[in-house]
């Protein structure tokens, strides 16, 4: 009976399988680490660490769906991050003054524009000059990494603007308990409204309806996961030093001398990743551009014969990838409070692995943004768990490589069985 109920929910079985695998990985690391993995502190840090990879994985999904690849995003992240670092620490202070309220806005806008330009340039070489994406982005991997070093001759740029740093998380880079609960409840309302709207549309066009029990199960599980995530974020307190500085700065009187409990709440980079995931999902599934990308991935010749401007569409996918890489760069350097020429090293492998593990087919035409972002959490969970266990970095890379190859193999087997 439970099996029939799960089947009636019409949820993607691959997504369910990946969620189950993630749960098993978390449980295994929790047991092996002596109870350190499934703690509010580690899960909160895991969410922040996964944000940049998840943001870029959302863009990589469409790139791979359109039968391309981008090997340059790690180096591009380092280059754009270095440019944004120099802007806010050297150039803008001379023009606007130190800690000007507009510094972070100008810096972020400049980084996003630069990401669009770099991505569009690579997309132009691929779409209009006919150079394979593998070669163009492999060249970009070398060029942008060298550019990141050339900007400051290898010097680290720090510290960054205080407002800009909020995008990286930390005690100040989170929204607190009250706002987290408010957003969590709002998200639950949105889930229920979406399910109701979807059911009404299916009824309007006389499509088969899911059993009401299945609708209730989906809504209840989604809301439970949302509120559970909020509860975990609110269970992680500020460090004692940050609380003490906050109390002194705000002249808060302590009756018994005990410092108050101040919850982090949901981190700002996590909110950025969620917004990107929602918007990218809408773009991929509800817009003409998204339909064109999947059509190109399914059959480029047929898409072109149907009137799709395949070249311009491919350029736009790389422009979008550049935009999200710049956003990922902002989150990464804000979290570290520094821009280095080595920032983003091997990030392209994590992003590609996240997309593939999330169900994006390297042969094109299939993949979901949600799956890629869940894959990013899975990849970061592996790294975080191995760090807790004291696994050496070379062995961590071996595990990531094995997981990537295994995911591609499973994808091949799954699609072969589906087509037979």
The pLDDT of residue 48: 93
Report how far residue 145's alpha carbon sits from residue 210's, in angstroms, rounded to the nearest whole number: 51
**Residue 263: φ, ψ to 5°:** -80, 145
The pLDDT of residue 419: 64
The domain 2-174+267-419 is placed in CATH, from the list 1.10.10, 1.10.3470, 1.20.1260, 2.60.40, at 1.10.3470
Q: Looking at residues 390-404, what average pLDDT do you find?
A: 82
The pLDDT of residue 40: 92
Decide: 333 and 104 in contact? Cβ < 8 Å.
no
For the question of whether the overall pTM of this predicted structure is more than 0.85, the answer is yes
pLDDT digits (tens, 9 = 90+) for 237-290: 988 887 888 777 777 777 676 778 888 899 999 999 999 999 999 999 989 999
Say which residues have a Cβ less than 8 Å from residue 199's Cβ, sequence separation at least 6: 209, 210, 215
Q: Looking at residues 44-65, what average pLDDT do you find?
A: 94
Half-sphere exposure of 271 (CA within 13 A, CB side): 19
pLDDT digits (tens, 9 = 90+) for 211-226: 787 788 888 989 999 9
The pLDDT of residue 418: 64
Mean pLDDT of the chain: 88
Q: Looking at residues 87-100, what average pLDDT do you find?
A: 86
Give residue 3's pLDDT band: very low, low, confident or very high (50, 70, 90): low
Domain ranges of the chain: 2-174+267-419, 175-265
* Maximum CA extent, the chain: 76
Report how far residue 61's alpha carbon sits from residue 34's, in angstroms, rounded to the nearest whole number: 36
pLDDT digits (tens, 9 = 90+) for 161-183: 889 999 998 778 899 899 999 99
Report how far residue 326's alpha carbon sits from residue 316's, in angstroms, rounded to the nearest whole number: 15
Give residue 5's pLDDT band: very low, low, confident or very high (50, 70, 90): low
The pLDDT of residue 205: 79
In this predicted structure, the answer to whether residue 420 has a pLDDT above a threshold of 70 is no
Q: Looking at residues 35-39, what average pLDDT do you find?
A: 91
The pLDDT of residue 363: 80
pLDDT digits (tens, 9 = 90+) for 404-413: 787 777 777 7
- Of the candidates 77, 81, 57, 61, which has an alpha carbon nearest to the alpha carbon of residue 141? 77
Q: Which residues pair with residue 263 across a beta bridge?
A: 237
Write the DSSP assignment of 199-266 as a string of letters: HHHHHHTTPPPPPHHHHHHHHHHHHHHHHHHHHHHHTSBPPHHHHHHHHHHTT---SSSPPPP-B-BS
Helix (H) or strand (E) holding 315: helix 310-336
Q: What percent of the chain has pLDDT over 70?
A: 95
User: Between 143 and 242, where is the model more confident?
Assistant: 143
Rounded to 5°, angle at Cα 15 from 4 and 11: 35
pLDDT digits (tens, 9 = 90+) for 318-366: 999 999 999 999 999 999 999 988 888 888 988 998 998 888 888 877 8
């Amino acid at each position: 009976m439970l099996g029939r109920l799960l089947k009636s929910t019409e949820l993607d079985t691959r997504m369910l399988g990946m969620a189950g695998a993630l749960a098993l990985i978390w449980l295994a690391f929790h047991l092996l680490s002596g109870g350190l993995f499934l703690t509010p502190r580690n899960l909160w840090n895991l969410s922040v660490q996964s944000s940049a990879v998840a943001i870029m994985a959302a863009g990589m999904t469409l790139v791979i769906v359109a039968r391309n690849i981008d090997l340059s995003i790690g180096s591009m992240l380092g280059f754009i991050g270095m440019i944004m670092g120099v802007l806010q620490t050297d150039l803008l202070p001379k023009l606007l003054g130190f800690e000007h309220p507009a510094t972070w806005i100008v810096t972020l806008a400049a980084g996003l524009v630069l990401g669009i330009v770099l991505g569009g340039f690579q997309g132009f070489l691929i779409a209009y000059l006919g150079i394979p994406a593998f070669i163009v982005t492999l060249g970009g991997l070398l060029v942008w990494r060298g550019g990141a070093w050339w900007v400051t001759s290898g010097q680290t740029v720090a510290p960054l603007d205080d407002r800009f740093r909020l995008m990286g998380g930390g005690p100040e880079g989170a929204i607190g308990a009250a706002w987290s609960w408010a957003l969590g409840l709002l998200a639950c309302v949105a889930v229920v409204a979406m399910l109701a709207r979807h059911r009404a549309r299916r009824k309007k066009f006389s499509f088969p309806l899911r059993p009401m029990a299945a609708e209730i199960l989906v809504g209840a599980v989604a809301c439970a996961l949302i509120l559970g995530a909020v509860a975990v974020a609110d269970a992680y307190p500020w460090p004692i030093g940050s609380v003490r500085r906050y109390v002194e700065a705000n002249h808060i009187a302590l009756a018994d001398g005990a410092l108050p409990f101040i919850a982090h709440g949901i981190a700002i980079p996590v909110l950025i990743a969620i917004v990107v995931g929602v918007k990218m999902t809408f773009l991929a599934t509800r817009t003409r551009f998204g339909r064109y990308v999947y059509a190109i991935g399914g059959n480029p010749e047929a898409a072109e014969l149907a009137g799709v401007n395949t070249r311009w569409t491919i350029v736009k996918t790389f422009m979008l990838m550049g935009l999200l890489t710049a956003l990922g760069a902002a989150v990464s350097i804000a979290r570290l409070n520094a821009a280095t020429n080595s920032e983003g090293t091997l990030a392209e492998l994590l992003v590609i692995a996240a997309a593939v593990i999330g169900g994006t087919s390297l042969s094109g035409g299939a993949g979901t943004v949600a799956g890629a972002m869940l894959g990013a959490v899975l990849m970061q969970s592996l790294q975080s768990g191995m760090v807790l266990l004291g696994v050496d970095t070379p062995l961590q890379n071996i595990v990531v490589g094995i997981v990537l190859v295994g995911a591609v193999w499973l994808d091949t087997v799954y699609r072969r069985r589906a087509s037979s």
